Amino acid sequence: MAVGDVSFPKMWTVAGIKIGSSEAYVRYPNRRDLVIFELAEGSNIAGVFTQNAFAAAPVVLSKQHLAKSLSADQPRYLIINTGNANAATGTIGLENAEKTCAHLAKLTGVQSHQILPFSTGVIGEQLPIERLLSGIQPALDNLNADSWQEAATGIMTTDTAPKGASEQFELDGITYCMTGISKGAGMIRPNMATMLSFVATDAPIAKNLVEQLLKTTVEQSFNRITIDGDTSTNDSCIFIATGQAGGQAIQQSDDPRYQVVLDVLSRIMLRLAQLIVRDGEGATKFITVTVEGGVSTQECCDVAYSIAESPLIKTALFASDPNWGRIVMAIGKAGIAQLDTSKVQVWLGDVRICRDGGAALDYTEEAGAKVMAEKEITIRIDLGRGTAQDTVYTCDFSYDYVKINADYRS
Amino acid sequence: MAVGDVSFPKMWTVAGIKIGSSEAYVRYPNRRDLVIFELAEGSNIAGVFTQNAFAAAPVVLSKQHLAKSLSADQPRYLIINTGNANAATGTIGLENAEKTCAHLAKLTGVQSHQILPFSTGVIGEQLPIERLLSGIQPALDNLNADSWQEAATGIMTTDTAPKGASEQFELDGITYCMTGISKGAGMIRPNMATMLSFVATDAPIAKNLVEQLLKTTVEQSFNRITIDGDTSTNDSCIFIATGQAGGQAIQQSDDPRYQVVLDVLSRIMLRLAQLIVRDGEGATKFITVTVEGGVSTQECCDVAYSIAESPLIKTALFASDPNWGRIVMAIGKAGIAQLDTSKVQVWLGDVRICRDGGAALDYTEEAGAKVMAEKEITIRIDLGRGTAQDTVYTCDFSYDYVKINADYRS
């Protein structure tokens, strides 16, 4: 069960984006597992991908095709399957990803490099390529602008709920919208991207700014969540600006409209990233870890991840046990050079539990227990040595995490 | 339940070492929780300690006292309590550790700096110092040479079994022995040391060589195990050479007897370290991760730890699921620069599951499942880019890990 409100919102349709889906039986029968996005001609698109060395075949191919679009035709279609990651599949895996693009290109009359493929699911098995190819025409047959929820559902793996975020905004009197979906519940410690996320707007934005907007917002959203510390082979995050709602294109980042778009995208990305944490495998709590007073954001992140990925802290959070000694252990093991532990302070919610290297004098176990009983908990650290700060989002570690990951595949 | 044979062995008594223990009610009543080692005058001793910045008060004090012993009297007593780590306890914690040493020094007529204190248990609470001090005389009252098993039991926390290793060996016709104990089951990713381990020999070894022997053997034993990736605040490993069994002191590392002692100590340290993994919290399997073909031992270790600490792999091991895609994910996320994934090979036991970046052609799920059903499993990786190799030991991740760590303290 996901933590907090993860209800699927009203999704504003994005002019220039159509979505189709089908049941291709990639892994399980009778479920929507193939999704196609059609992008209007002239759309600008940017992507960030996993840093895992065993990047999946579709990641390799999508990066190649995106690179080509700098000098040739822009991408016109995204094709996404769940149930099989097409990762660690060698040359056959790459051929299968190429076949997928070629088939979709043939049916739609575009070039193969105008297709970006994405896969998610089990690693190390070959795609059932014939079934996948057979699912493409049915998906094209139901392309329409209103299918964002079907798309969000069609890319799920161990997710318990589809994940979406959508906003309307105004630039110079024109109303635009921005809408996106994400998926992911395990193998989540994105490194430059997340499992899968697709966000689109009908605002007109120059290609270089689309890239800049994506990189800026990913850094504070998908690159700040962790469920199990495991970086997926398939992480991909795509941002599309179709420009189909009209208006003059935003060409420079000092255009005042750029800041408006940045704010909207930041909110949507953060929401989509947090939805992944709220639906983390077996999650019963949503945890915000904020580290302040660092010399650099890097050391703030190092401490935050050390806390957010400690199995001992995550199980204590599951048990609602204010066992804060485990938090100082995790601060101490983060490898911060010359940390003066006597200056470190720790808060659980509003309750200061640690100062001067030991328990705060006014701390009571009752006060700590009260915060730990909440479903949403903020752990705040002040390192007492600088002005940098950063925040990471995570969830707890429950019996169900073990159950889900011991049972998955079976 | 611990994995494999963890039976407590015959413990050879070490001439020059006496051990006493008592029930001091540090945390729980009616259990042995205070242990004192008495070392014969002239014993040489070396220690390695946690790198955690929140090092416990007894760690801080033991390091100070050991440093003093270079110019003054050598340590004569170790005092160890379980139930409370005396970590993140600020100045009061340090005062309590000092009081403990002072009281023991007074009762035995030695200097306070000749006492090394150790604590293990819950972090962030103050020691019940009066009860602890009251337990010292009773422990001194039963000092004797045969109490190694009582000591191993008296330092346990979530351990399910006492851990010991002991060997006799001969140097120039004189029979010596080496005997040691360790404890630890969670918060185990030692960094220069382990939770707690004490090893003694009655062989005569110069002080500088005692240090060298400890550092050399810790590196390939305690510094190669992980249960949850969490480095304790209290890790300490002590090696004592009493010299009480006679013979000329070993002064140089090119003395042929040095190699004999090194071999014995290596075996004892590796056994004590592996016993901790076999008794890892909730462990049902003992896992050896060997990485070969690396450019450096560092990158072999990086890959080995990435596998050994992945929650997804550990839960798959618990489920006996040969979900080897998770293994390549963990290799890929280890951050090895310019890894050519097409040269990576992976074996599960004797079964090659991955080569050329994908599934090995002769791999069958049945063969993988057979290996995964074993209680002791070796995962072997060949990175295909060099001659370095290294090995890390770990265990799986079960429901009981969550249960133990959600319930601990309560």
Put simply, the answer to whether A52 touches B408 (Cβ < 8 Å) is no
Mean pLDDT of B375-393: 96
Q: How many C-beta atoms lie closer than 10 Å to residue A409's C-beta?
A: 16
Torsion of CA B193, B197, B202, B206, to 10 degrees: 20
pLDDT score for B8: 94
Q: What is the pLDDT of residues A278-298, one digit of tens each?
A: 988 889 999 999 999 999 999
Residue intervals in chain A for CATH 3.60.70.12: 17-278
pLDDT score for B408: 58
Put simply, the answer to whether B329 touches A87 (Cβ < 8 Å) is yes
B11 to each of A130, B200, B231, B261, how far by Cα in Å? 65, 11, 29, 17
Q: Which residue has the tokens 């159950």?
A: A403
Mean pLDDT of A133-156: 96
- Determine which one of A194, A201, A231, A284 is catalytic: A194
Tell me the CATH number for domain A286-407.
Answer: 3.10.20.340
Taking the C-alpha atoms of residue A222 and residue A271, their distance in angstroms, rounded to an integer, is 10
Strand partners, B286: B376, B395
Taking the C-alpha atoms of residue A232 and residue B222, their distance in angstroms, rounded to an integer, is 30
Tokens coding B194:
């382990």
Taking the C-alpha atoms of residue B65 and residue B63, their distance in angstroms, rounded to an integer, is 5
pLDDT score for B194: 54
| Residue set of the binding site of B for substrate | 157, 183, 194, 281, 405, 410
pLDDT score for B356: 83
Taking the C-alpha atoms of residue B246 and residue B265, their distance in angstroms, rounded to an integer, is 19
Mean pLDDT of A64-70: 88
ipTM confidence score: 0.82
B235 has a pLDDT exceeding 50: yes
Put simply, the answer to whether B310 touches A230 (Cβ < 8 Å) is yes
How many residues make up chain B in this entry? 410
A317 has a pLDDT exceeding 70: yes
Taking the C-alpha atoms of residue B153 and residue B32, their distance in angstroms, rounded to an integer, is 7
Strand partners, A119: A81
Could you say which of B230, B321, B403 has the minimum Cβ distance to residue A409? Answer: B321
Secondary structure E strands in B276-406: 286-294, 345-348, 351-355, 358-359, 376-382, 388-395
- HSE of A141, CA atoms in CB hemisphere, 13 A: 7
pLDDT score for A52: 86
Q: Is A91 a residue of the active site? A: no
Question: Taking all residues of chain A, what is their mean pLDDT, rounded to a whole number?
Answer: 91
Question: What is the CATH class of A17-278?
Answer: alpha beta
A192 has a pLDDT exceeding 60: no
pLDDT score for B195: 72
Mean pLDDT of B357-379: 91
* Chain A nearest CA to B286, separation (Å): 17
Residue intervals in chain B for CATH 3.10.20.340: 286-407
Strand partners, B198: B181, B238
B164 — pLDDT class (breaks 50, 70, 90): very high
DSSP state, residue A43? -
3-state secondary structure of B54: coil
Taking the C-alpha atoms of residue A150 and residue B335, their distance in angstroms, rounded to an integer, is 36
